[in-house]
Amino acid sequence: MVHEIIRAEHIQKMFDRNQVLMDAWLHVLEGQTVGIVGLDNSGKTTFMRILAGQLGFDGGDIYLEGVKIPSARRDILSGKVAYLGSENSLVDELSIADNLCVLKNHPIRDFIVRKKKIRENSEKILKRVHVDARPGSPCSILEDNEKQRLEIAKVLAGGARLVILDCTGHTYNDQDIRELKELICSSYEKGVAFIFIHSNLEYVMQLSDEILVLKDGRSVRRLPKNKFDKQLIYKWMVGYEIKENNLYDRKKLPDAKEILRLAEVTSDRLKQISLEVKEGEIVGILSLSSRWNQEFIDILMGEARIESGGIYRNGQAVNRQFLRDRGTVRNRTCFMHKANIKEELFENLPVSQNYVFLAQQKAAKTPLGILSRKIEMHLENEKAEDLGFSPDILKKHVEQLTNKELFELYIGEIKLFHPELLVLMNPTENSDVLLKEQIIGEIVRMAEDGIGILMISANFKEMSAICDRIIIVRKGTVNGVVDRRDFSTVNMNLYLE
């Protein structure tokens, strides 16, 4: 007989006067993975944190292995339910073995045991979660998805019966999904269950035995695996039918000039990288390594030193100082390289003041007082809609903005400064299906306006919809270049394996 691990009925939750959850419910059996999907602000994370004992609840009932748990005793939930969010809890400065050693009820918890025993146990865990690293290596060398699998091993060793993976910020490739699924399935025999959350519905469908849809703080539908239907799930999430575009056609600029060229650039992690971006082009870099992807960004921002090769803008060789002066009249480059745009902004200031501050950063040679007044006048006299966002956003503090409003703010900043080059990294991370469509649409429109775009991502399907060509990078070197006309016939995994 399959036992029920957790059941939640009619859960309600308010923050101040905001009703976040109105009627959320689910049940999870041992040896099962339940996927949770919904638009931004549908209540997914709040619901999961309640199940993990991190938040109390204002109404409804929760049963853990058949026992009713009152809101005042949510510590009981935290002992059996592990919540793993986008931010991992591993300490980069510690070794992998030390990170695994700091565990409740783990056989290597006892610090008096011999180092040999610690190493042997660490090696077993690393092998089980498909991480090719030495136990004594610092955790900082691991990729984000390798760290995630280690975290899962940690909480399972600590006695968790239900593991909640709130993975909205993670980007996966086919191999990551296979290895995560193998780890999940291998845990079923121990009676463990999982909840998986991600904005990419395809990931959720691959990993889940059942999908639960949340909308406006309510659980609305559940669907078993044999009835998964992407368009139907989208309809339940949004409230109407929505179709994903698989190809974005756009006008090409005649006689487009070269904006960016890298000629055999070699750095600490990258080896002999060559590429070019012209006006109105969207060039993709397909790479599965977050570290190598960040190295691309650091080089183009002038933050990383190149050992050999050259970087050219508009046909002229440039140095690191030029690259650091991004966003100025001299170097008209904008970057969208952080999954959380809030990291660039002051959360306790209104959007209008953030705009002034960002503009001052981007034009340091202009007297700040004059520049501030110019921007304020621009925001007062020009319609905010011309920059792509609602006028109401200007009065809000950044901490009050939704993901959609944050994206509109960033697009407004780009339109304000008219860049000739835009560099993106994983632009649709943390985006639900509606925001993802909006982001992709804006990227295409900016290319039609003549902006050259370099898009760095691990999501081939997304890039193949809009890119003119894709450069495949494996272990820091170019392993292939695929033109748009060949996207449908080329197996990208052959280049990446």
Read off the pLDDT of residues 19-54 as tens digits, 9 standing for 90 and up. Answer: 999 999 999 999 999 999 998 889 999 999 999 999
Q: Are 51 and 71 in contact (CB under 8 A)?
A: no
Of 177, 96, 52, nearest in space to 185 by CA = 177
**Per-residue confidence (pLDDT) for residue 422, from 0 to 100:** 92
User: Three-class SS of residue 315?
Assistant: coil
CA angle 263/266/270 to nearest 5° reads 115
What pLDDT, on a 0 to 100 scale, did the predictor assign at position 366?
44
CA distance 379 to 355: 9
The Cβ of residue 367 has, within 10 Å, a number of other Cβ atoms equal to 10
Q: What is the pLDDT of residue 496?
A: 56
What's the CA gap between 435 and 402, in Å, rounded? 11
Tell me the per-residue pLDDT of 319-330, one tens digit each, with 9 for 90 and over.
Answer: 888 888 765 656
pLDDT of residue 380: 47
For 355-407, the pLDDT digits (tens) are 666 555 555 444 444 445 555 555 544 545 565 666 677 677 777 777 777 78
| pLDDT recorded at residue 391 | 65
Let me know if the fold of 4-90+142-238 is the same as that of 258-496: yes
> In the CATH scheme, what is the code of domain 4-90+142-238?
3.40.50.300
Report the pLDDT value the prediction gives residue 61, as an integer from 0 to 100.
Answer: 94
pLDDT given for residue 397 in this prediction: 73
Q: Options 3.30.530.20, 2.130.10.10, 3.40.47.10, 3.40.50.300; which CATH number does 258-496 get?
A: 3.40.50.300
Specify the 3-state DSSP secondary structure of 430: coil
Residue 494's pLDDT is what?
Answer: 56
Quote the crossing angle between the two packed helices 403-417 and 351-362, to the nearest 10°: 40
Residues of the chain with pLDDT under 70: 1, 102-115, 169, 243-250, 326-330, 337-349, 352-391, 394, 489-497
Amino acid 104: pLDDT: 43
Mean pLDDT of the chain: 81
pLDDT at 368: 41
> What pLDDT is recorded for position 50?
94
pLDDT (tens digit, 9 = 90+) per residue, 469-491? 999 998 888 888 988 888 876 66
382: CB partners within 8 A, 6+ apart: none
Alpha helix ranges (H) inside 139-173:
144-157
So what's the pLDDT on residue 62? 94
Alpha-carbon distances of 306 from 269, 303, 340, 459, rounded to whole Å: 10, 10, 27, 27
Q: Left if phi > 0, otherwise alpha if psi is -120 to 50, otherwise beta: which for 113?
A: beta
Domain ranges of the chain: 4-90+142-238, 258-496
Tell me how far CA of residue 209 lies from CA of 36, 167, 185, 188, 228, in angstroms. 11, 17, 11, 12, 10
Helices (H), 158-289: 174-188, 201-207, 230-238
167 vs 208: CA distance, rounded Å: 13
